[in-house]
Structure 1
Amino acid sequence: MNWFEYLSAFVMLYPGIMSVYWTLSGLIYFLIWEKRDIKPEFTRENAPPVSILIPCFNEADNLDASIPHLLQLTYPNYELIFINDGSKDDTLKLLRKWEKQSGRITVIDQPNGGKASAMNNGARAARGKYLVGIDGDAVLDYHALEFIVDTLEQRPEVGAVTGNPRVRNRSTILGKLQVAEFSSIIGLIKRSQSLAGTLFTVSGVIMSIRRDIWRKIGGWSENMVTDDIDISWKVQTSGYEIVYEPRALCWVLMPETFRGLYRQRLRWAQGGAEVILKYTPQILKSKNIRLWPLYSEYFVTLLWAYALLATTVLTFFYMFNGSINPMLFKVGGLATFIAFLIQLSVSLFIDNRYERNLFRYFITCIWYPYAFWMLNSLTLVIGFPKALFRDKTRKATWISPDRGIQ
């Protein structure tokens, strides 16, 4: 084999190797931690107070649908803190209306400063032992808080918990594909990483952190474009673990246009790069050795993304002069496809525990892991340079992409 064939083998096989790793480790996590039918129960007397922080920027179209569900949570001791982040629609008006109707609701109004700024202002007003952050369009499962609080109460080494986002909008093919993505890829990755008590990121749409740790680490960083990734590494480099709690379900709206999905994933890629670069000095210290595998995986994936770009360009050159070996691509492609097939089957089997009839998406989504890796590659290649050169002295504000076809 020549150097080009070695490079091609890396590009072809790396997604399949990671797929096998995520599948096996995710299955182990399920069998050890998740396959338990014990549902925690809390009473008013023994339930520690929880503050749910909901930052809102132009959420007028979603609040009347999401707030009634938030008022029906079964956890007996929680408050709802809505932070209006300088909305230009009727968000503040609707929040004031709901504040008058329920004693659980507190409304904070601030000039537009970004999600992290809103979360910090909400946390300063919070009375809870635990802070839970969700999006303005999110619908929490009625029992989600019990699972989050139980995990934090039982495991003092855990500083933060992330829940299980589920896609609400499925009116288009793209919406349905993301249902499979959150199960077969994102869910398995979080299970796999949780085995070591480390996560690349909590899900910003459903996460929780101990309020004393929030205070200790200085809260959310207001100059980072992905506040959720940043606080994840801030917690972990401070010596605490982060785990995935798949039983804490949260139903969210996701982009259903290609433009919206690309914008969302590009921000994720840029934000991930910013965080990795920011925390490299702390990560490389020996006390954070448990973070090295996660850190190394990021750079291998980044290398793969640029290798894919190079291989794509070079393949056309080698095809014209007839020096390419098609058997390598056939064998590598088949091996990776089989790995994706097993990954999708295992993940849908696991998540069918929380959402019935997920296997109806199997046939239409069987090719989606390829699309995920291609999109991941494109956004990494573009997002890493953007992270290098973005002005980080400014507060990070951004507008959410579309949340489904209206």
Structure 2
Amino acid sequence: MSDFLSGVAVFTLAYPSLMALVWMCGGLYYYFQWERRDLALARRGLVLPRYPKVTLMVPCYNEGANVEETIGHLLRQRYPDFEVLAINDGSRDDTGARLDRLAAQDTRLCVLHQRNQGKAMALNNGLKVAKGEILVGIDGDAVLDHDAVAWMVKHFLDSAKVGAVTGNPRVRTRSTIIGKIQTGEFSSIIGLIKRAQRIYGTVFTVSGVVVAFRRSALEAVGGWSTDMVTEDIDISWKLQLAGWLIHYQPQALCWVLMPETVRGLYKQRLRWAQGGAEVMLRHGPQALRWRNRRFWLLLLEYAASVLWCYAMVLLALIWLAAPDLHALGEGHFFAWSGVLMTSICLLQFGVSIFIDHHYDKSMARSFIWCVWYPLVYWLLNLVTVIVAVPKAVLRRRGQLAVWESPDRGESFRDKK
């Protein structure tokens, strides 16, 4: 039994460090293989061989405080042929009235109104009336960089197999410690993960806040699933299982509002964790087939992350029952594990700052806060996965997934 517990303890310590090394290596490979060329191209100026029509779809729910800023930035895109389609999903505030007023001022903006049915239904209704060959989804509280659309469209022109391109969300709520340390997550964890997953050919999820789709790819898979709590994870798997590729474009910058309270952050990550579990339950069996073997690394990564959470709970319960794990601390591995994990953490942030300073010049200022994020990330991941997996198993299939207004932090609301 002691050997088993020692093995579990080694796994709980080694897994986070191993994944950090995988993410760093993948991120660096992506940077030197592809990203540097795009950075050089950005300095010269991106020019596309053609500019297919793009529809910027903005699903909105209770976004009255933010939607004018979001739409204003979209209308200033430096792209020659686009329309903006805002879908008001039964908002209870003045979102609908604000959108109608904006539409009266600019003919490029079209507004749809529907009863509250969730983001996926809003996007599906938008798909029916959109005129664009490429559809770009933007959250109603996000600010899109003026050149982001062109950078995402480039991927569709380069390869007919590309079904979606996920952009590069950047945190703009940095007034509290929770807000500041999330800048570390988006660079040293989320950004590196997407680069690494792009290397081995499958992406767990697009960033729902900023993502472009090929219209024909969406239509081929039947659009978004309306019964999944995270429609972005689900559409990612549907597209890739149907044979489409998903690319990542760091130049497609989008500034997003993130929770700045513990409660808001927990609720958001619980939804993400539940969405990931729901997708595994629905699409995992299909991904296990031989013809879908390129998904196996992704399935292994997810399974290992869930196993790590429950392994941590097991050790915690054993310690509570008999608080003497001295035997687990014997050996050189455990003696040096703290130093090793700290060193890997600092290296991980060094790599992310090296890569992402091209897009966020102020990121280095948050380094003192960012170094705490791995601890927060893994503990938050632990709690949310433990709670989310049973919720996903017990949730009734076919139940419409509607949303609540997210917590964006008191400091940001005060500024508004």
Residues in 2 aligned to 1:35 and 1:316: alpha-carbon distance in whole angstroms = 50
Asked if residue 348 in structure 1 is aligned to residue 353 in structure 2, the reply is yes
Q: 1:403 aligns with which of 391, 403, 408?
A: 408
2:96 maps to a residue whose letter is L
Residues in 2 aligned to 1:249 and 1:399: alpha-carbon distance in whole angstroms = 25
Which residue number corresponds to residue 60 of structure 1? Answer: 64
Give CA-to-partner distance per residue, 1:347-379, whole Å, 9 cap, x none: 111000111131111122212112101111111
Asked if residue 388 in structure 1 is aligned to residue 393 in structure 2, the reply is yes
CA contact (8 A) 1:16 1:337 kept: no
Give CA-to-partner distance per residue, 1:218-271, whole Å, 9 cap, x none: 000001000000000000000111111111000110000000000000000001
State the secondary structure of the residue aligned to 2:41: coil
1:3 maps to a residue whose letter is F
Which residue number corresponds to residue 337 of structure 2? Answer: 332
Residues in 1 aligned to 2:372 and 2:408: alpha-carbon distance in whole angstroms = 23
Give CA-to-partner distance per residue, 1:280-327, whole Å, 9 cap, x none: 232112221111100111011100110011112223445448544265
CA contact (8 A) 1:239 1:288 kept: no
Q: 1:141 Cα shift?
A: 0.3
Which residue number corresponds to residue 11 of structure 1? Answer: 12
Q: 1:329 Cα shift?
A: 3.8
Asked if residue 310 in structure 1 is aligned to residue 314 in structure 2, the reply is yes
Which residue number corresponds to residue 235 of structure 2? Answer: 231
1:303 maps to a residue whose letter is L
Residues in 1 aligned to 2:14 and 2:219: alpha-carbon distance in whole angstroms = 44
Residues in 1 aligned to 2:168 and 2:104: alpha-carbon distance in whole angstroms = 31
Structure 1 unaligned spans of 5+: none
State the secondary structure of the residue aligned to 1:100: helix
Matches for 1:12-31 after TM superposition, within 5 Å: 12-31=13-32
1:161 maps to a residue whose letter is V
Matches for 1:61-80 after TM superposition, within 5 Å: 61-80=65-84
Q: 1:157 aligns with which of 146, 161, 184?
A: 161
Matches for 1:121-200 after TM superposition, within 5 Å: 121-200=125-204
CA contact (8 A) 2:181 2:372 kept: no
Matches for 1:196-235 after TM superposition, within 5 Å: 196-235=200-239
Q: How many residues align?
A: 405
Q: 1:401 Cα shift?
A: 2.4
CA contact (8 A) 2:171 2:183 kept: yes
1:57 maps to a residue whose letter is Y
State the secondary structure of the residue aligned to 1:254: coil
Q: 1:64 Cα shift?
A: 2.1
CA contact (8 A) 2:83 2:108 kept: yes
Residues in 1 aligned to 2:227 and 2:139: alpha-carbon distance in whole angstroms = 19
State the secondary structure of the residue aligned to 2:85: strand
Q: Output the aligned Cα RMSD.
A: 1.5
Asked if residue 254 in structure 1 is aligned to residue 255 in structure 2, the reply is no
Residues in 2 aligned to 1:336 and 1:156: alpha-carbon distance in whole angstroms = 42
Residues in 2 aligned to 1:10 and 1:322: alpha-carbon distance in whole angstroms = 17
Q: 1:57 Cα shift?
A: 0.5
State the secondary structure of the residue aligned to 1:74: coil
Give CA-to-partner distance per residue, 1:182-226, whole Å, 9 cap, x none: 001000000000012211000000011100111110000001000
Q: 2:41 aligns with which of 25, 34, 38?
A: 38
Give CA-to-partner distance per residue, 1:92-148, whole Å, 9 cap, x none: 100000001111100000011000000011111111111110100111000001110
Q: Structure 1-normalised TM-score?
A: 0.97
State the secondary structure of the residue aligned to 2:65: helix
Asked if residue 242 in structure 1 is aligned to residue 243 in structure 2, the reply is no
Q: Is the deviation greater in 338-347 or in 108-117?
A: 338-347
Residues in 2 aligned to 1:248 and 1:330: alpha-carbon distance in whole angstroms = 43
Matches for 1:62-101 after TM superposition, within 5 Å: 62-101=66-105
Q: Check 1:103–1:12 CA distance in 2 against 1; reply closer, same or farther (3 A cut).
A: same
Residues in 2 aligned to 1:304 and 1:19: alpha-carbon distance in whole angstroms = 14
CA contact (8 A) 2:319 2:325 kept: no
Identity of aligned residues (%): 47
CA contact (8 A) 1:53 1:133 kept: yes
Asked if residue 280 in structure 1 is aligned to residue 284 in structure 2, the reply is yes
Structure 2 unaligned spans of 5+: none
CA contact (8 A) 1:140 1:251 kept: yes
State the secondary structure of the residue aligned to 1:162: strand
State the secondary structure of the residue aligned to 1:38: helix
CA contact (8 A) 2:138 2:208 kept: yes
State the secondary structure of the residue aligned to 2:128: helix
Residues in 2 aligned to 1:249 and 1:322: alpha-carbon distance in whole angstroms = 48
Give CA-to-partner distance per residue, 1:31-65, whole Å, 9 cap, x none: 1010121136457x931001111000011011122
